[in-house]
Amino acid sequence: MKAAEDKKGYRRLLPSLTALVEFEAAARLGSFTKAADELGVTQPAVSRQVRGLEEMLGAPLFHRQHRAIVLTSEGETLYAVVAESMKRIAGAFDRISGGQHVQELVLATTAAFSRFRVMPRLGDLRRMLPQLRLRLTTQMFTADLRHNEVDLAVRYGNGKWSDGSATLLYDEEVFPVCSARWLQENPAPQSLAELARAPLIESLSTSEGWMGWEEWFLLAGALRQKLDFTLQCSLYTDAVQATLLGQGVTLGWSRLLQEQLHSGELVRLGTASVKTRNAYYAVVPHGRSPNHSVSQLIAWLQKDRPD
Protein backbone atom coordinates (compact mmCIF):
# COMPACT_ATOMS: atom_id res chain seq x y z
CA MET A 1 0.00 0.00 0.00
CA LYS A 2 2.80 2.38 0.93
CA ALA A 3 4.61 1.65 -2.35
CA ALA A 4 1.51 2.68 -4.30
CA GLU A 5 1.25 5.89 -2.26
CA ASP A 6 4.92 6.68 -2.93
CA LYS A 7 4.39 6.32 -6.67
CA LYS A 8 1.53 8.80 -6.51
CA GLY A 9 3.34 11.16 -4.16
CA TYR A 10 4.97 13.39 -6.78
CA ARG A 11 1.64 13.81 -8.57
CA ARG A 12 0.19 15.54 -5.51
CA LEU A 13 2.92 18.16 -5.83
CA LEU A 14 2.21 18.95 -9.48
CA PRO A 15 -0.35 21.51 -10.65
CA SER A 16 -2.44 21.02 -13.77
CA LEU A 17 -0.64 20.96 -17.10
CA THR A 18 -2.95 23.76 -18.25
CA ALA A 19 -1.61 26.01 -15.50
CA LEU A 20 1.99 25.23 -16.44
CA VAL A 21 1.39 25.80 -20.17
CA GLU A 22 -0.29 29.16 -19.52
CA PHE A 23 2.43 30.19 -17.07
CA GLU A 24 5.14 29.31 -19.62
CA ALA A 25 3.45 31.38 -22.35
CA ALA A 26 3.00 34.38 -20.03
CA ALA A 27 6.64 34.19 -18.90
CA ARG A 28 7.98 33.82 -22.43
CA LEU A 29 5.83 36.60 -23.90
CA GLY A 30 5.94 38.91 -20.87
CA SER A 31 2.18 39.44 -20.99
CA PHE A 32 -0.99 37.68 -19.83
CA THR A 33 -2.83 39.17 -22.80
CA LYS A 34 -0.32 37.91 -25.38
CA ALA A 35 -0.30 34.49 -23.72
CA ALA A 36 -4.08 34.37 -23.94
CA ASP A 37 -4.00 35.31 -27.64
CA GLU A 38 -1.41 32.62 -28.38
CA LEU A 39 -3.32 29.91 -26.51
CA GLY A 40 -6.80 30.92 -27.63
CA VAL A 41 -8.15 31.63 -24.14
CA THR A 42 -9.09 34.77 -22.26
CA GLN A 43 -6.71 37.00 -20.35
CA PRO A 44 -8.57 36.46 -17.03
CA ALA A 45 -8.23 32.69 -17.55
CA VAL A 46 -4.44 32.96 -17.83
CA SER A 47 -4.27 35.28 -14.85
CA ARG A 48 -6.42 32.87 -12.84
CA GLN A 49 -4.20 29.89 -13.65
CA VAL A 50 -1.07 31.81 -12.68
CA ARG A 51 -2.69 32.98 -9.45
CA GLY A 52 -3.50 29.37 -8.64
CA LEU A 53 0.15 28.41 -9.10
CA GLU A 54 1.23 31.25 -6.82
CA GLU A 55 -1.22 30.16 -4.13
CA MET A 56 -0.05 26.56 -4.42
CA LEU A 57 3.61 27.60 -4.13
CA GLY A 58 3.07 30.31 -1.55
CA ALA A 59 5.24 32.70 -3.56
CA PRO A 60 4.67 35.33 -6.28
CA LEU A 61 5.80 34.32 -9.78
CA PHE A 62 5.48 37.77 -11.40
CA HIS A 63 5.97 41.39 -10.47
CA ARG A 64 2.80 42.92 -11.86
CA GLN A 65 3.66 46.35 -13.23
CA HIS A 66 1.41 48.92 -14.89
CA ARG A 67 1.90 47.69 -18.46
CA ALA A 68 4.09 44.63 -18.02
CA ILE A 69 4.78 41.55 -15.96
CA VAL A 70 8.29 40.56 -14.89
CA LEU A 71 9.35 37.22 -13.45
CA THR A 72 10.35 37.11 -9.80
CA SER A 73 13.31 34.98 -8.74
CA GLU A 74 10.84 32.18 -7.90
CA GLY A 75 9.24 32.67 -11.31
CA GLU A 76 12.61 32.45 -13.06
CA THR A 77 13.33 29.16 -11.28
CA LEU A 78 9.99 27.64 -12.27
CA TYR A 79 10.15 28.99 -15.83
CA ALA A 80 13.56 27.45 -16.50
CA VAL A 81 12.30 23.99 -15.45
CA VAL A 82 8.93 24.22 -17.21
CA ALA A 83 10.40 25.57 -20.46
CA GLU A 84 13.08 22.87 -20.55
CA SER A 85 10.53 20.14 -19.83
CA MET A 86 8.17 21.33 -22.57
CA LYS A 87 11.08 21.54 -24.97
CA ARG A 88 12.06 17.93 -24.25
CA ILE A 89 8.49 16.68 -24.60
CA ALA A 90 8.09 18.43 -27.96
CA GLY A 91 11.45 17.04 -29.08
CA ALA A 92 10.37 13.50 -28.17
CA PHE A 93 7.16 13.86 -30.18
CA ASP A 94 9.14 15.12 -33.16
CA ARG A 95 11.67 12.27 -32.96
CA ILE A 96 8.93 9.64 -32.67
CA SER A 97 7.07 11.09 -35.64
CA GLY A 98 10.33 11.10 -37.62
CA GLY A 99 10.37 14.89 -38.07
CA GLN A 100 9.28 14.44 -41.69
CA HIS A 101 6.52 17.05 -41.80
CA VAL A 102 7.10 20.38 -43.55
CA GLN A 103 8.15 22.87 -40.91
CA GLU A 104 8.80 26.60 -40.83
CA LEU A 105 11.64 27.75 -38.60
CA VAL A 106 12.38 31.35 -37.70
CA LEU A 107 16.13 32.05 -37.61
CA ALA A 108 17.30 35.33 -36.07
CA THR A 109 20.72 36.68 -37.04
CA THR A 110 22.48 39.96 -37.60
CA ALA A 111 22.25 41.42 -41.09
CA ALA A 112 25.96 40.65 -41.63
CA PHE A 113 25.62 36.99 -40.63
CA SER A 114 22.56 36.60 -42.82
CA ARG A 115 24.19 38.29 -45.83
CA PHE A 116 27.63 36.67 -45.66
CA ARG A 117 27.10 33.34 -43.90
CA VAL A 118 23.51 32.21 -44.56
CA MET A 119 22.62 33.45 -48.05
CA PRO A 120 25.57 31.86 -49.90
CA ARG A 121 24.71 28.45 -48.41
CA LEU A 122 20.93 28.33 -48.93
CA GLY A 123 21.21 25.82 -51.77
CA ASP A 124 23.09 23.43 -49.52
CA LEU A 125 20.47 23.92 -46.81
CA ARG A 126 17.62 23.06 -49.19
CA ARG A 127 19.39 19.86 -50.21
CA MET A 128 20.06 18.93 -46.60
CA LEU A 129 16.61 19.88 -45.24
CA PRO A 130 14.08 19.79 -48.09
CA GLN A 131 11.19 19.79 -45.59
CA LEU A 132 12.33 23.05 -44.00
CA ARG A 133 10.90 26.46 -44.74
CA LEU A 134 13.27 29.06 -43.35
CA ARG A 135 12.16 32.52 -42.28
CA LEU A 136 15.02 34.92 -41.60
CA THR A 137 14.72 37.85 -39.23
CA THR A 138 17.61 40.26 -38.71
CA GLN A 139 18.43 42.00 -35.45
CA MET A 140 20.87 44.83 -34.84
CA PHE A 141 20.82 44.37 -31.07
CA THR A 142 20.45 41.28 -28.88
CA ALA A 143 16.73 40.97 -28.14
CA ASP A 144 15.14 38.93 -25.34
CA LEU A 145 14.16 35.66 -27.01
CA ARG A 146 11.33 35.08 -24.58
CA HIS A 147 9.40 37.92 -26.18
CA ASN A 148 10.06 37.06 -29.82
CA GLU A 149 8.71 34.35 -32.11
CA VAL A 150 12.13 32.87 -32.83
CA ASP A 151 13.03 29.17 -33.04
CA LEU A 152 16.80 29.69 -33.23
CA ALA A 153 19.09 32.69 -32.94
CA VAL A 154 22.73 33.15 -33.90
CA ARG A 155 24.57 35.32 -31.41
CA TYR A 156 28.13 36.49 -31.00
CA GLY A 157 29.28 36.60 -27.40
CA ASN A 158 30.39 34.48 -24.46
CA GLY A 159 27.64 31.87 -24.80
CA LYS A 160 25.97 32.76 -21.50
CA TRP A 161 22.44 34.09 -21.93
CA SER A 162 19.51 33.71 -19.56
CA ASP A 163 16.83 33.35 -22.26
CA GLY A 164 18.10 30.26 -24.09
CA SER A 165 20.48 27.31 -24.38
CA ALA A 166 23.63 28.01 -26.44
CA THR A 167 25.56 25.65 -28.73
CA LEU A 168 29.00 26.71 -29.97
CA LEU A 169 29.18 27.21 -33.72
CA TYR A 170 32.76 28.45 -34.14
CA ASP A 171 35.31 30.93 -32.87
CA GLU A 172 36.51 33.94 -34.85
CA GLU A 173 39.68 35.60 -36.14
CA VAL A 174 39.92 39.21 -37.32
CA PHE A 175 42.47 40.69 -39.72
CA PRO A 176 42.70 43.54 -42.29
CA VAL A 177 41.23 42.95 -45.75
CA CYS A 178 41.02 44.93 -48.97
CA SER A 179 39.89 44.30 -52.53
CA ALA A 180 42.25 42.97 -55.20
CA ARG A 181 41.65 46.23 -57.06
CA TRP A 182 42.78 48.36 -54.09
CA LEU A 183 45.91 46.26 -53.71
CA GLN A 184 46.77 46.77 -57.39
CA GLU A 185 46.44 50.54 -57.03
CA ASN A 186 48.11 50.96 -53.62
CA PRO A 187 51.26 49.59 -51.99
CA ALA A 188 50.57 46.93 -49.37
CA PRO A 189 51.29 48.20 -45.82
CA GLN A 190 54.46 46.60 -44.49
CA SER A 191 53.86 47.34 -40.81
CA LEU A 192 51.06 48.19 -38.39
CA ALA A 193 52.20 51.81 -38.46
CA GLU A 194 51.80 51.93 -42.24
CA LEU A 195 48.44 50.18 -41.97
CA ALA A 196 47.26 52.87 -39.53
CA ARG A 197 47.91 55.48 -42.24
CA ALA A 198 45.91 53.57 -44.85
CA PRO A 199 42.31 54.63 -45.66
CA LEU A 200 40.48 52.62 -43.04
CA ILE A 201 36.80 51.74 -43.25
CA GLU A 202 35.21 51.41 -39.82
CA SER A 203 32.08 49.48 -38.79
CA LEU A 204 30.56 50.96 -35.64
CA SER A 205 29.97 48.55 -32.77
CA THR A 206 26.32 47.55 -32.44
CA SER A 207 26.57 44.08 -30.91
CA GLU A 208 28.18 42.38 -27.95
CA GLY A 209 31.92 41.88 -28.34
CA TRP A 210 32.19 43.57 -31.76
CA MET A 211 35.72 44.81 -32.46
CA GLY A 212 36.67 48.10 -34.05
CA TRP A 213 39.99 49.27 -35.46
CA GLU A 214 41.27 50.91 -32.27
CA GLU A 215 40.79 47.76 -30.21
CA TRP A 216 42.23 45.62 -33.01
CA PHE A 217 45.46 47.67 -33.19
CA LEU A 218 45.92 47.44 -29.42
CA LEU A 219 45.34 43.66 -29.37
CA ALA A 220 47.61 43.24 -32.41
CA GLY A 221 50.45 44.76 -30.37
CA ALA A 222 50.67 48.22 -31.89
CA LEU A 223 51.27 51.34 -29.85
CA ARG A 224 48.35 53.74 -29.89
CA GLN A 225 48.03 54.99 -33.45
CA LYS A 226 46.27 57.98 -34.96
CA LEU A 227 43.85 56.36 -37.37
CA ASP A 228 42.68 57.70 -40.71
CA PHE A 229 39.03 56.71 -41.13
CA THR A 230 38.08 57.31 -44.72
CA LEU A 231 34.56 55.99 -44.04
CA GLN A 232 32.53 54.97 -41.00
CA CYS A 233 29.43 52.78 -41.38
CA SER A 234 26.75 51.72 -38.93
CA LEU A 235 26.40 48.36 -40.71
CA TYR A 236 29.23 45.90 -41.34
CA THR A 237 27.60 44.95 -44.65
CA ASP A 238 28.14 48.53 -45.87
CA ALA A 239 31.75 48.53 -44.71
CA VAL A 240 32.40 45.32 -46.65
CA GLN A 241 30.62 46.66 -49.74
CA ALA A 242 32.76 49.81 -49.70
CA THR A 243 35.86 47.63 -49.36
CA LEU A 244 34.79 45.46 -52.31
CA LEU A 245 34.46 48.67 -54.34
CA GLY A 246 38.08 49.54 -53.63
CA GLN A 247 37.46 52.37 -51.17
CA GLY A 248 39.93 51.21 -48.51
CA VAL A 249 40.72 48.61 -45.87
CA THR A 250 38.34 47.12 -43.34
CA LEU A 251 38.51 44.47 -40.65
CA GLY A 252 37.74 41.03 -42.00
CA TRP A 253 35.90 38.62 -39.75
CA SER A 254 37.17 35.36 -41.20
CA ARG A 255 34.06 33.25 -40.59
CA LEU A 256 31.74 35.86 -42.06
CA LEU A 257 33.85 36.61 -45.12
CA GLN A 258 34.88 33.06 -45.94
CA GLU A 259 33.23 33.16 -49.39
CA GLN A 260 34.78 36.50 -50.39
CA LEU A 261 38.25 35.46 -49.21
CA HIS A 262 38.05 32.10 -50.98
CA SER A 263 36.93 33.68 -54.27
CA GLY A 264 39.62 36.38 -54.13
CA GLU A 265 37.14 39.25 -54.02
CA LEU A 266 38.75 40.21 -50.74
CA VAL A 267 42.44 39.80 -49.93
CA ARG A 268 44.00 39.50 -46.51
CA LEU A 269 46.60 42.20 -45.79
CA GLY A 270 49.71 41.12 -43.90
CA THR A 271 49.97 38.45 -41.22
CA ALA A 272 48.72 40.36 -38.17
CA SER A 273 45.59 38.79 -36.74
CA VAL A 274 43.55 38.83 -33.54
CA LYS A 275 41.76 35.81 -32.10
CA THR A 276 38.57 37.00 -30.46
CA ARG A 277 37.58 36.15 -26.90
CA ASN A 278 33.97 35.58 -27.95
CA ALA A 279 32.49 33.20 -30.48
CA TYR A 280 29.35 32.50 -32.51
CA TYR A 281 26.60 30.46 -30.85
CA ALA A 282 23.27 29.01 -31.90
CA VAL A 283 20.74 29.79 -29.16
CA VAL A 284 17.49 27.87 -28.70
CA PRO A 285 15.04 29.95 -26.65
CA HIS A 286 13.76 28.40 -23.44
CA GLY A 287 10.42 26.79 -24.18
CA ARG A 288 11.17 26.07 -27.84
CA SER A 289 11.52 22.54 -29.08
CA PRO A 290 15.03 21.26 -29.90
CA ASN A 291 13.44 19.11 -32.59
CA HIS A 292 15.07 17.23 -35.45
CA SER A 293 14.92 20.21 -37.83
CA VAL A 294 16.40 22.64 -35.29
CA SER A 295 19.24 20.21 -34.54
CA GLN A 296 19.97 19.80 -38.26
CA LEU A 297 19.86 23.56 -38.79
CA ILE A 298 22.46 23.98 -36.04
CA ALA A 299 24.64 21.30 -37.68
CA TRP A 300 24.33 23.14 -41.01
CA LEU A 301 25.32 26.44 -39.42
CA GLN A 302 28.42 24.78 -37.96
CA LYS A 303 29.63 23.62 -41.38
CA ASP A 304 32.38 25.48 -43.18
CA ARG A 305 32.32 25.82 -46.93
CA PRO A 306 34.00 22.90 -48.74
CA ASP A 307 37.60 23.55 -49.77
Which CATH number is 122's domain given? Answer: 3.40.190.10
Query: Domain end: 74, 96, 118, which one?
Result: 96
Q: DSSP code of 242? A: H
Tell me whether residue 307 is in a domain: no
Which CATH number is 74's domain given? Answer: 1.10.10.10
Domain count for the chain, please give it: 3
Most confident of 41-50, 121-130, 170-179, 289-298: 170-179
Residues 6+ apart with CB under 8 A from 89: none
Distance separating the N- and C-terminal Cα atoms of the chain: 67
Helix axes 17-29, 43-57, angle to 10 degrees: 110
Q: pTM above 0.95?
A: no
| Residue ranges making up the domain that contains 256 | 172-275
What is the reported pLDDT for 1?
45
What is the reported pLDDT for 15?
78
Same domain, 179 and 151: no
Model confidence at 249, pLDDT cuts 50, 70, 90, reads very high
Above 50 in pLDDT, residue 48? yes
What is the reported pLDDT for 289?
63
Note the pLDDT tens digit of each residue in 74-114: 999 998 888 878 777 776 666 666 555 557 888 999 889 99
Tell me whether residue 211 is in a domain: yes
Model confidence at 2, pLDDT cuts 50, 70, 90, reads very low
Same domain, 153 and 285: yes
Same domain, 263 and 120: no
CA distance 109 to 293: 17
Query: Domain end: 65, 96, 127, which one?
Result: 96
